[in-house]
Structure 1
Amino acid sequence: MKKDAKVTFNKRDEDSKMKELEIVESYMVHFEESFDEAGAGAMIQSISLSARSIKVGNGEHENEWAM
């Protein structure tokens, strides 16, 4: 199932947008979750996506998938 998504990265010291990542027609190809009860960042979730199009600011990458 293909999905579109937007991820907003906020500035660290403010509640304002630093940049936005737009993902069009993506498939999740990998998901991993780890838990370290002793570490400062106790839970880490790693997601790998394969998308038809990725846009960040003025930059864009278009994958040409074989149909």
Structure 2
Amino acid sequence: MHTVQDCDKSGKPVAVARIKELRVVIESDKDTDFFYWATSNAQTKDGKITFHKRDALSRLKELTFKKAYCTEYKETFNSKGEHPMITTLYITPKETSLGTVNVKRDWGNLGSI
């Protein structure tokens, strides 16, 4: 997740923090739903990403997003290694929640598509 705050010349924040993008890297499969989402300028999705502790049994935290666009899609092939093909998604959500923190983006009329 990438958050930003606009700052003045001294480095003091002058605006509310905003989520710039969510970057998600997953192992590729034959499904094309993510590609379709990335090539549509009108399709939004809601979703949830659950982060697990290293023991992989218990939940560490959960990030949820609403009305998100997939603004970038990238598939990378590597003939060596554990995961030969990965998909990277860049997601721009209207609303994001992590724990008790909720961040909303003002898209004006764009968010009503």
CA deviations 1:41-62 (Å, max 9, x no partner) are 4332210111110111111211
TM-score, normalised to structure 1's length? Answer: 0.86
Larger Cα-atom Rg: 2
| Among candidates 38, 58, 62, match of residue 80 of structure 2 | 38
3-state SS, counterpart of residue 55 of structure 2: coil
TM-score, normalised to structure 2's length? Answer: 0.54
Normalized per residue, the structure richer in strand is 1
Q: CA RMSD in A?
A: 1.3
Normalized per residue, the structure richer in helix is 2
Number of equivalent positions: 67
Match runs of 1:8-47 below 5 Å: 8-47=50-89
Aligned equivalent of 1:60: 102
Unaligned runs of 5+ in 2: 1-42
* Segments ≥4 residues shifted beyond 4 Å: none
Unaligned runs of 5+ in 1: none
Inter-partner Cα distance in structure 1 for 2:71 and 2:55: 33
